[in-house]
Amino acid sequence: MIVDTFENMGLYLGLHRAMPQVRGFLEEAASLPEGKYELDDGNFVIVREGETRESFGILFETHERYLELHAVVKGAERMEWAPRAFLLMTDPVDPVKDIGFLRGSGDGIDIIAGMFYFCFPQDAYKSSCHTQSIGSCDYRKYIFKLRVDQLIRQ
């Protein structure tokens, strides 16, 4: 798990082959409507708007083929995180949908506009939850789905 601000995005350009596209999308996507947008080489981004939800009763999710980068551009949300190995798998990762669900508890952080976080296959998380400081609020964010096999390993 990585949490940081947009101003530091340049520090992560060497993490994944699609990071230059991610940075470009963040600079040019303000007027795009909600939906799914294809990037190069099987990577894509989902533009999502909505109102945060109560975290109680929501399962953690995890992925194996894609890492996710959530970039909040309006409003705020609370993200809860835990190492996948520390939680109870309730629904194994579906190989087609690339999502699995887990039960347990983790740590949370409020993510405000101008912040992003990476979720790797070893991570489990809940997103789009009510913030601790504000409660319910509207948000707009971009969820980048980046293929794990395109991570740049040094």
Look at residue 133 in the predicted model and tell me its pLDDT. Answer: 85
C-beta of residue 137 within 8 angstroms of C-beta of residue 131? yes
Look at residue 98 in the predicted model and tell me its pLDDT. Answer: 97
Classified as helix, coil or strand, 137 is: coil
- What residue ranges do the domains of the chain occupy? 2-150
Look at residue 154 in the predicted model and tell me its pLDDT. Answer: 61
Look at residue 148 in the predicted model and tell me its pLDDT. Answer: 97
d(CA 83, CA 125): 9
pTM for the model: 0.95
Architecture of domain 2-150: Sandwich (2.60)
Cβ contacts of 137 within 8 Å, gap of 6 or more: 51, 52, 75, 76, 77, 130, 131
Using the structure block, give the residue that is written with the tokens 């835990």. 82
Q: Per-10-residue mean pLDDT for the chain, 154 residues long?
A: 96 95 91 95 97 95 98 97 97 97 96 97 97 92 97 82
Look at residue 134 in the predicted model and tell me its pLDDT. Answer: 87
Cβ contacts of 118 within 8 Å, gap of 6 or more: 1, 2, 12, 15, 67, 68, 69
